Amino acid sequence: MVEFHSEPLKSRRLTRRLTMMLATVGVLAVLAGAVALYVYYQRGLESDAGPAGVAVPGLLRPGDTNFEYYKTRIFIEDVKASLGVSFSNARIAMISGVLVNDGDRTLEAVELHLTLYDAWGKVSKERTAFALRPGAGYVGKPMNPLERRSFTIGVEAVEYYWDPKNITIEITGLKYS
């Protein structure tokens, strides 16, 4: 038995091709718009430090007399170290403590240099990170005089023989007002 249709077969193929072409053009237009928005918003996120890290303008460093003066008024208390394992089986050291501003000025940024040692006292891993930074953290506000604030810094790819009782923390950068 043979069925007859009123429209020719060629016309149906042409309609189907036209629909596929329009759908493809629409999907490509949406993808191009998404890429344009992504590039537009990423351009505004570039920092002064580049891809390596975070820059805080006006940060005082060792050797500056203002740094050396106020460094003696900042204390790090209750330092604790713990070990975590990520889903990819990477060992991550989590160093936490309490930052104490015992001076008379408002702290905006504090940069710390962490040194982790192994069981034999040799340097295992080093990391420099901000314990306090403008616009970052839970609060995102500067530290007032006589204020205490907790911090946590993670160090990735820690050795198997890392000694959590042997950690050195040094203040390497300050910004205060």
Position 24 scores a pLDDT of 95
* Helices within 47-115 (DSSP H only): 65-71
- Whole-angstrom distance, CA of residue 118 vs CA of residue 126: 12
- Whole-angstrom distance, CA of residue 29 vs CA of residue 19: 15
| E strand spans, the chain | 74-85, 91-101, 107-118, 123-132, 148-156, 162-176
Position 4 scores a pLDDT of 60
Position 7 scores a pLDDT of 59
Q: Is the dihedral of CA 163, 165, 166, 168 positive or negative?
A: positive
| 108-154 confidence digits (pLDDT tens) | 999 999 999 999 999 999 999 999 888 776 667 899 999 999 999 99
Q: Is the pTM of this model over 0.85?
A: no
| 23-54 confidence digits (pLDDT tens) | 999 999 999 999 888 887 776 554 444 444 67
pLDDT class of 2 with cuts at 50, 70, 90: low
Contacts of 107 (CB under 8 A, 6+ apart): 74, 101, 132, 142, 143, 174, 175, 176
pLDDT class of 167 with cuts at 50, 70, 90: very high
